[in-house]
Structure 1
Amino acid sequence: MTASGGDTQHGIRRRNLARVLQAVAAEGPLSRAGAAARIGVTRAGVAPLVDELLRAGLLVETGRAAPSGRGRPGSELAVSDRGPAGIGAEIGVDHLAVCAVDLRGRVRARAATDAANRHSAPGPVLQELSALLAGVAARIAAEGLYPAGLTVAVPGLVARGTATVVHAPNLGWREVDLAPALATALTPPPVPAPADSPGAPGGSGASIPLGVENEANLGALAELRLGGGPDGLAPPPDFVHVSAEIGIGAAVVVDGQLLRGARGFAGELGHVPVYPDGLPCDCGGRGCLEQYAGEEAVLRAGGLTSARAAAEHPGPGARGALLARRAAAGDSATVNALADAGTALGIALAGTVNLLDPRAVVLGGALTRLAPWVLPSLERELTLRTTVATTPDRPGRPAVEVSRLGADGPLLGAAHTALRAVLDDPIDACAPPHSPHVRFR
C-alpha cells in the first residue's frame, strides 16, 4: 500500500479509506456493516469513511441491504462506474495498444494499431501512442470517467524509479525518457460534474501519475491481480512469469511482490546463456536463450520468416499465429523447432528454479498459444535439472501453468497498476483533474 502519513490520525484515516474502498472493490456490493467487518472496525467507525468515499464519487449506494441483526437494513455499497480510471499502454515490437479500466476492473475503452516499431525512432512511436491515449481519454470522458494514472509497458529495461527506458534491444532504443513525450497525451475535454456525482471531473490542481515498466513485470502483476491461471485463480505468491515474442522476458514474484533487483533489471531471462558457445546475440553475448526460443529464432529453425508470418496473419501476433497454425497442422519442421525452443527454455528456467525455488512457472504472452508444443520438452528439462527432492506432498519441480490472459497480460497489468494508486490512496482521487498533466509516479 502506498498511502502515507505514518501512524498519525491523518495517516490512519487514509489507510482506512483505502481499506474500505479495496474491500468493496474486491467483495462488493457490501453493506456498511459488512465493510466494517472486513476492515475490523465498528459500524460507527466505518460510517465517516463511507460518507467521504460517497462524497468523492468513489462509492455509490445500490439499494437496500439484507438485515444483519438489529436495526434497520442499510444500503449496499459498490464502487462507482464513473470517476477515476486506470490507463494502460503497451509499446510492442509490432503494435501499440491502450486500454482504460474502471474501479470495478472492467475494461471501458480500448484501442490498438499495428505498428512496425522495431528500430523505429522513439519520437514517431510516442506520437502515435499519444494519439491513441487521447482517443481513449475522450471515449471514457463521455462516460463520466477521467484518467487517474497511466502506466506504459515496454519490452526492455527500465531504470528503477524513472520513466527512462535504458535499453530495449528489439526496439533499438537506449536511454529514452518517455515522460516528456507523454506529458500532454491525457488532457481530456472538460466534463461538467453532475450534481449527484461529486467524483466526476471538475476539480483542479491534480496531475496524472506516469509509470513505465517492463512488460514481463506487468504481465506478472496481471496474474496476481486478475487470477491468470487456467482455473481462474491467482497463482501462488511465489512464481516466475515468462513471456516471449521476439524477445523473452521474465518476472520473479516472491511473497506476492516483484523482485526488481538493485537497478530494476531483474528478470532478463532472454539473455541467460543456454549454450555458451552458441549463436551470437544482439546483447554482445553468445548462446542466449532468445537465440533459440524467441519467435524469430523458432521461425528460422522451422524454415519460415517474419515476412511470411505478416503476410499470412496481418496484425499483432503474426509470428505466433503462423507457428501455432503450422504446428497444429502437423508440420514436422515447426513442431521440432518448438520442441527445441522448449528445451532451451527449460534449461534456462532450471537455473532460476534451483536458485529461487518458486511454487510455479507461469507461461504468458505468445507462449500461451504455443504451449501445447513447447511444454513437453520444457517440463522434461525442468524435471531433469531441478535439484529439489520429490516428496509425496511436493513434486521435485514447480508446477508449470499457462496463463488465461495470453497476450493481453502486460496491457491489463499496466491499466490495473495505474488504477492501484487510487485504491491504495483514495484521498488523491477525491479531487479529480479538470485539465491534467502527467507527472512521474
Structure 2
Amino acid sequence: MTAPLNDAHPAGPGRALPDTQQGMRRRNLARVMHTVSAQGPLSRAAVASRIGLTRAAVSSLVDELIRSGLIEELGPERPGRVGRPGSALAVSGHGPAGIGAEIGVDHLAVCAVDLRGTVRSRTVRYGANRGRAAAPVIQELTGLVRRVVAEARQEGLWPAGLAVAVPGLVARDGRTVVRAPNLDWHDTDLSALLPDEIPLTVGNEANFGALAELWLGEGTPRDFLHVSAEIGIGAAVVVDGHLLRGTRGFAGELGHVPVRPEGPPCPCGGRGCLEQYAGEEAVLRAAGLEPGEDRVGLLATRAAEGDEDVRRALRDAGTALGVALTGAVNLLDPESVVLGGALAGLAPWLLPSLEDELDRRTAGPACPVAVSRLGSEGPLLGAAHSVVRGVLDDPAGVAVRG
C-alpha cells in the first residue's frame, strides 16, 4: 500500500475530506488530535474552548480517540483551577508510530517516532551505497526497518506507516525514484522491493529535511528555502507552510544549478553544477583530504584547528552556494534561507562568503540565513514525523492494530 504525496507533507493523508456528516466528524477528530498534540495536556472543556465545539461534542470525539488508542487520560488536572477538575488528556505514548528511513550515499538509517514526537528506536548502518543495485540496498534497509519495528512493538507501538527519504527525484506516485545520480538509480519502484505490510511513501530527502525544520525547528518561518548537503546538495521551498513541489514533483534541485557553465562534469549530465563545488566530496578534494566515514567532522576539526587549505575550500564552497542561492532568492523572495544537513556543521566557515555573495547579488533587501539545529538528522526525522502528521490529520483513517 502506498500513500500519495501532497503539498502539505509527503506521507500524511492531508487530503480534503468530503463535506458530509462523516467527513465533518473526521475533520473534528483531527482538530482534537492537533489541539491536544500541540497544547496538551488539556481537559475536555479546554479542548472545547479552543476549537469552538460544545463539551458534549468534544467528549464524544475524545471517547472515540481513547478507544482507538490515540489519546489517553492522565488523571485530574493540576489543582488550583476553579470548579471540579477535569481529566487531563494527552496524545498516547503507545499505539501508532511513524517509521522513518533514509537511504544515503554512504549510510542507511531508520527510526520510530511516537505520536508525542519522541524517538523510541533508531539504528544506522554505514557503508557505501553508490553504484550498488537497488535490490541489495533495500534488502539491508528492510532488515533495519524490521529491527526498529520489533523494538517499537516491545514498547507498545505499531507502525502507522513507513516514509523513506532518498537523495533523488521521486515521482508523484510516492514510490518511484526517477533519478538519483549519486546512487546511480533510475526509475526504481521501491514499493516493489520493500515489504508491503506497512503503508509506504518515498520522498526526496531535502523535502523531508525542510518539513522537519518546519515542524520541529524553533522559530522557523512558514516561508523559507531549506538547503542541505551530503555528497549532493538538495533544496526545498516552503511557502505558507507547504512544500512547493513543481509540476512533476522535482522542485528544489539546487545542487544541479550550474554556477560555472564550463566547469567539471556532474553525474546529472550537466557541467559546473553547484555540487561540484560545494558538495562534501568536492570540498574534501579542494582541501586535499581523503574522504572518510565522518567527512563533516574531519572538515570541521581541521577548519577549527586553522588548516588554511580547508578554510579556503570552505570559503570557496560558500561562494558557490551564494551564487546558486542568489538566483533562488531573487526568484522566490523567501523570508529566510535555512542551512541543514552537512552545511549546518560547517556553517561557521561557509557563512561569511555565502552571505557576502548573497548581499552583493540579491536584488532586494538581504535575505537572512539561519542554521538548522537538526543538522543531518533532518531528513530521517522529517520522514518519521510525516507519518505522525498523517495520523494527526486523519485519526479516523488509522486502523487500530496491536
1:253 has 2:222 as partner: no
Any residues of structure 2 matched to 1:356-395 within 5 Å, and which?
Answer: 356-388=332-364
Secondary structure at the aligned position of 2:383 is classed as helix
Measure the CA separation in 1 of the matches of 2:227 and 2:171.
Answer: 20
2:158 aligned to which of 146, 151, 159: 146
Measure the CA separation in 2 of the matches of 1:141 and 1:162.
Answer: 26
1:219 has 2:209 as partner: yes
Please name the residue that 1:161 is paired with.
173
Please name the residue that 2:3 is paired with.
none
CA deviation profile, 1:237-268 (whole Å, cap 9, x unmatched)? 11000001110000001111000000100000
CA deviation profile, 1:333-355 (whole Å, cap 9, x unmatched)? 11000000000000000000000
Deviation at 1:8, TM superposition (A): 0.9
1:281 aligned to which of 247, 266, 272: 266
1:239 aligned to which of 221, 224, 229: 224
Measure the CA separation in 2 of the matches of 1:70 and 1:170.
Answer: 61
Any residues of structure 2 matched to 1:180-219 within 5 Å, and which?
Answer: 180-184=192-196, 208-219=198-209
Measure the CA separation in 2 of the matches of 1:38 and 1:149.
Answer: 29
1:13 has 2:3 as partner: no
Measure the CA separation in 2 of the matches of 1:69 and 1:419.
Answer: 32
Secondary structure at the aligned position of 2:88 is classed as strand
Contact map agreement 2:174 2:203 (CA 8 A) in 1: no
Measure the CA separation in 1 of the matches of 2:50 and 2:58.
Answer: 10
Structure 2 residue identity aligned to 1:387:
A
Q: TM-score, normalised by structure 2?
A: 0.94
Any residues of structure 2 matched to 1:17-32 within 5 Å, and which?
Answer: 17-32=29-44
Please name the residue that 1:334 is paired with.
310
Please name the residue that 2:117 is paired with.
105
Measure the CA separation in 1 of the matches of 2:369 and 2:194.
Answer: 38
Measure the CA separation in 2 of the matches of 1:425 and 1:406.
Answer: 29
Please name the residue that 2:383 is paired with.
414
Secondary structure at the aligned position of 1:179 is classed as helix
Q: Which moved more, 1:154-163 or 1:214-223?
A: 154-163
Structure 2 residue identity aligned to 1:324:
A
1:321 has 2:297 as partner: yes
Measure the CA separation in 1 of the matches of 2:375 and 2:174.
Answer: 28
1:133 has 2:145 as partner: yes
Percent identity at matched positions?
A: 66
Measure the CA separation in 2 of the matches of 1:166 and 1:266.
Answer: 13
Measure the CA separation in 2 of the matches of 1:321 and 1:264.
Answer: 33
Deviation at 1:152, TM superposition (A): 0.1
Secondary structure at the aligned position of 2:191 is classed as coil
1:50 has 2:62 as partner: yes
1:264 has 2:234 as partner: no
Deviation at 1:43, TM superposition (A): 1.1
Contact map agreement 1:86 1:101 (CA 8 A) in 2: yes
Please name the residue that 1:292 is paired with.
277
Deviation at 1:53, TM superposition (A): 0.6
Contact map agreement 1:97 1:111 (CA 8 A) in 2: yes
Structure 1 residue identity aligned to 2:392:
L
The gaps in structure 1 that reach 5 residues or longer are 187-207, 389-395, 435-441
Measure the CA separation in 2 of the matches of 1:2 and 1:68.
Answer: 39
Measure the CA separation in 2 of the matches of 1:413 and 1:364.
Answer: 12
Measure the CA separation in 1 of the matches of 2:232 and 2:386.
Answer: 23
Please name the residue that 2:400 is paired with.
432
Contact map agreement 1:4 1:11 (CA 8 A) in 2: no
Contact map agreement 2:191 2:200 (CA 8 A) in 1: yes
Deviation at 1:69, TM superposition (A): 7.9
Contact map agreement 2:236 2:251 (CA 8 A) in 1: yes
Contact map agreement 1:117 1:125 (CA 8 A) in 2: yes
Measure the CA separation in 2 of the matches of 1:3 and 1:75.
Answer: 32
Q: TM-score, normalised by structure 1?
A: 0.86
Measure the CA separation in 2 of the matches of 1:50 and 1:67.
Answer: 22
Measure the CA separation in 2 of the matches of 1:289 and 1:3.
Answer: 35
Contact map agreement 2:69 2:400 (CA 8 A) in 1: no
Measure the CA separation in 1 of the matches of 2:315 and 2:16.
Answer: 50
Measure the CA separation in 2 of the matches of 1:251 and 1:259.
Answer: 7
Q: Which runs of 4+ in 1 moved over 6 A?
A: 67-70
CA deviation profile, 1:150-194 (whole Å, cap 9, x unmatched)? 10000000011230001111111011110121125x6xxxxxxxx
Q: Which moved more, 1:261-270 or 1:63-72?
A: 63-72
Measure the CA separation in 1 of the matches of 2:64 and 2:83.
Answer: 23
Measure the CA separation in 2 of the matches of 1:322 and 1:175.
Answer: 34
Measure the CA separation in 1 of the matches of 2:68 and 2:401.
Answer: 13
The gaps in structure 2 that reach 5 residues or longer are 1-12
CA deviation profile, 1:52-109 (whole Å, cap 9, x unmatched)? 1111111111111257987532101011111000000000011100000001000000
Structure 2 residue identity aligned to 1:377:
S
Deviation at 1:219, TM superposition (A): 0.3
